[in-house]
Amino acid sequence: MAFAKSAGRVEDETENGLRVYDPGFQNTAVARSSITYINGDEGILHYRGYPIEELAENSSYLEVAYLLIYGELPTPTQFAHFEHEVMHHTFAHTKLTELMQTFNYDAHPMVSLHHLRPFLPNPSVTISADFTRLLPPQGCFITGIAAMSTFHPEANPALQGADVFTNNPQILNKQIFRLLGKSPTLAAHAYRHRIGRPANSPQNGLSYTENFLYMLDRLSEREYKPNKQLARALDILFILHAGELRLGGRWEENWGSEVGVFQMTDFASCSPNVCSVTNVDHELNCSTAAMRHIGSSRVDPYSAVAGASAALYGPLHGGANEAVLRMLERIGSAENVGSFLGEVKARRTKLFGFGHRIYKNYDPRARIVRKVAYDVFDIVGREPLIEVAIELERAALADEYFVSRKLYPNVDYWSGLIYKAMGFPTDMFPVLFAIPRVSGWLAHWKESLEEKDAKIWRPRQIYVGPPRRSFVPLSHREQGTESQPDVAVGTSTHPFRKRSKVATYKEGSGDDQ
């Protein structure tokens, strides 16, 4: 409901200075960062000054994580120490594992039950399986991350003081090692719980991604070792996602053309026909902004990472890879690509995985991911949808309609196919994106702690509500005015409620008899 603004209203604060109204912070800079540089016109992406192509070809995920967090590539001695610390902080507390086992087998592996966290430190409180069945079918990963804070009170600024990390770099680094080390473990636990298998313990002597694949897939085999080429492919994907900060947006007519670009913030207003989503560390996306926003209160990093992960799971933030897969499945075969693109140009359907809000050239990550896709297909076999994807890319890049609008394949176009070919269910995709992003979130968290003029984030609003009005007693309020909000709640359709509604009974509990 809207209220007219009058110059005499006490709510009018224009005399206090200029205030910019920028919905969704589309053009508001709230932080100075040295982590990532992007030039969308030229298709350039740098992590701390290093081209993403060079890092993907020559580096490893853990080395890139060190670069993002500490600002420089490590020396051999520094990397050996960093890798040792991360890989020796991979075991999860048994109580944490027990908590994750209480969720329904079909709980989504990503979303958390944040309200359980305050109960965990109290040994007198137990969480029964019956209790968790009353909750929506949600997952385990964020719950595990949030719960970690209850096991490390020495790293809780609410208990140890707001300057605990700035005054003691060792405590800060300890939490970085723990979060990087345990994220794959919690993700693997969530996956194993989902498929009804016991969790595997981390193994020494394996790389970061090899260890993750081991915890996912090992059954009872002796000396099980994941395929090194698959592990390397996953490592490259982790590098590309390490700094990913998806920028939200909305359906809008973009680049002065009649072709809309889907930018993942308002499904309700969907109408254009070309869909693209950003997913790299160019400035503050929803989840990274959440990390810095939550962290600005000086909360512990586990709560902040859990909040960032929850933001990542939202359908307006993630979901691009899944949308690409659904689109390819709908096309069905390479022979149908031509007619599909005709429908796109006629604005009768939508094209996912093409175009980019920042890149006006070929997404540099898409070139890398395309090669990784072929490497993975050579190992595990071609995903049936790959022929459709290849023909769709070829046809779109040969069509002036799309090329003139700078609609090139983005990283989402290929990464979902890779994960699907590797055997991951689509509801595991957000977890796979969250694991490598932990390093990017931690880089921003550490950077924010080092800001000399750091303040708690507190955006302002433009008040558009009613002016001052007097309270009216309930008995004197009129019925049925248009201004009254609709707060109707639908009736339950559960079978036992239907039966109970026609039963006879007395108020009170049957246990009182």
Q: Which residues are catalytic?
A: 356, 412
**What gap in Å lies between CA 220 and CA 462, rounded to an integer?**
60
Element (H, E) at 310: helix 301-313
How many residues does this entry show for the chain? 513
HSE at residue 373, side-chain half, CA atoms within 13 A, is 23
Q: DSSP letters of 172-233?
A: HHHHHHHHHHHHHHHHHHHHHHHTT-PPPPP-TTS-HHHHHHHHHH--S-TT----HHHHHH
Of 220, 216, 197, 215, nearest in space to 105 by CA:
197
**What gap in Å lies between CA 172 and CA 177, rounded to an integer?**
9
How are strands ordered across the β-sheet holding 50-51?
Answer: 36-39, 44-47, 50-51
Helical pair 141-148 and 94-101, crossing angle rounded to 10 deg = 150
Distances in Å between the alpha carbon of 113 and those of 107, 132, 408, 463?
Answer: 11, 9, 39, 32
Q: Under a CB-based contact definition with an 8 Å cutoff, are residues 162 and 298 in contact?
A: yes
Of 52, 34, 35, 30, nearest in space to 43 by CA:
52
Percent of the chain that is helix, strand, coil (3-state, to 5): 50, 5, 45
Backbone φ and ψ for 512, nearest 5 degrees, come out as -80, -10
- Taking residue 135's Cβ as centre, other Cβ atoms within 10 Å add up to 13
Distances in Å between the alpha carbon of 390 and those of 133, 379, 396, 413?
Answer: 43, 18, 10, 10
**What gap in Å lies between CA 167 and CA 225, rounded to an integer?**
42
Q: DSSP letters of 344-400?
A: HHTTSS-EESB--SS-SS--HHHHHHHHHHHHHHHHH---TTHHHHHHHHHHHHT-H
**CA 143: distance to chain centroid?**
14
Residue 437 amino acid letter: R
